[in-house]
């Protein structure tokens, strides 16, 4: 079982430290900054084995080179992002795996937000480190990927076990929830979720992680096959990719 530590940095980013107690190996996911990671490693007495990047955007890779220089760790990212991720040592593809001791982190390709986006999934620890592909009650904007790619990527993540914890890279939950309510105002689980979210944010506490089960019930981008979502969009019975595309467009302009 992996230990996960969540570090809040910048305005709304989350960095994750993942540690295997038996081997002593540790990975950091999407280090936007260096010092908070080094401070936490020092506090815990852990050594850094890997930097795991989900995609190439600066607020996910800014700490790569300094961490590599100071800890001698290896930088892992999508092979497709070899030219875009600083310090990369190992390029991975869909279906590959990274191991912390005997703990397997499966690489799943999730293009859409960017063309090279990947996520890391631990079945044993029931944990998904999903970068900017999936957010609590939301998903990433389209940069150099397509709506159809992102729809398919989210379908892949939606199919993971319901108890899987969703460790996304940003605290966007409250705004995402307000948009979700504009699409499904009568969704009781969504209403209840937003009460919890508002309480947590009032206390300056994180709303992350979520679970796949909760996202299936409350995330409109997981719910494009829902009649209530289709009805709001005026796309009852339409192709799910078309519904998703319209939903993403509305969120962009919301």
What 3-state DSSP class applies to 204?
Answer: coil
Q: What is the reported pLDDT for 126?
A: 98
Low-confidence ranges of the chain (pLDDT < 50): none
What's the CATH superfamily of 3-252? Answer: Ribonuclease Z/Hydroxyacylglutathione hydrolase-like (3.60.15.10)
Q: Do residues 118 and 109 make contact, with C-beta atoms less than 8 angstroms apart?
A: yes
pLDDT digits (tens, 9 = 90+) for 27-77: 999 999 999 999 999 999 999 999 999 999 999 999 999 999 999 999 999
Helices (H), 73-187: 147-158, 173-183
Q: What is the reported pLDDT for 179?
A: 98
Q: How many CB atoms lie within 10 A of CB 133?
A: 28
Of 9, 1, 6, nearest to 210 by C-alpha is 6
Q: What is the reported pLDDT for 28?
A: 99
Region of residue 33 (left: phi > 0; alpha: psi -120 to 50; beta: else)? beta
Q: What is the reported pLDDT for 121?
A: 98
Q: What is the reported pLDDT for 146?
A: 96
Q: What is the reported pLDDT for 112?
A: 98
CA torsion, ordered 82, 85, 88, 93, to nearest 10 deg: -50
DSSP H or E segment with residue 224:
none
Residue spans per domain, the chain = 3-252
Catalytic amino acids? 55, 57, 59-60, 113, 132, 170
Q: What is the pTM of this model?
A: 0.97
């Amino acid at each position: 079982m992996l230990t996960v530590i969540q570090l809040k940095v910048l305005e709304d980013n989350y960095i994750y430290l993942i540690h295997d107690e038996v081997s002593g190996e540790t990975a950091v996911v999407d280090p936007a900054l260096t010092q908070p990671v080094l401070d936490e490693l020092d506090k815990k007495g852990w050594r850094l084995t890997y930097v795991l990047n989900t995609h190439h955007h600066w607020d996910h890779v800014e700490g790569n080179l300094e961490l590599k220089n100071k800890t001698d760790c290896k930088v892992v990212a999508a092979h497709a992002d070899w030219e875009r991720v600083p310090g990369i040592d190992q390029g991975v593809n869909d279906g590959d795996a990274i191991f912390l001791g005997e703990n397997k982190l499966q690489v799943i390709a999730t293009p859409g937000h960017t063309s090279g986006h990947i996520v890391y999934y631990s079945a044993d620890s029931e944990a998904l480190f999903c970068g900017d592909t999936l957010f609590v009650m939301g998903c990433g904007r389209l940069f150099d990927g397509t709506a159809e790619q992102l729809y398919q990527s989210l379908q892949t993540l939606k199919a993971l076990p319901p108890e899987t914890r969703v460790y996304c890279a940003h605290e966007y939950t409250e705004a995402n929830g307000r948009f979700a309510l504009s699409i499904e105002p009568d969704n009781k689980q969504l209403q209840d979720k937003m009460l919890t979210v508002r309480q947590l944010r009032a206390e300056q506490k994180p709303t992350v992680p979520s679970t796949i089960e909760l996202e299936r019930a409350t995330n409109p981008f997981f719910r494009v096959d829902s009649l209530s979502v289709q009805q709001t969009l005026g796309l009852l019975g339409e192709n799910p990719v078309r519904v998703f595309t319209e939903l993403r467009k509305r969120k962009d302009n919301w």
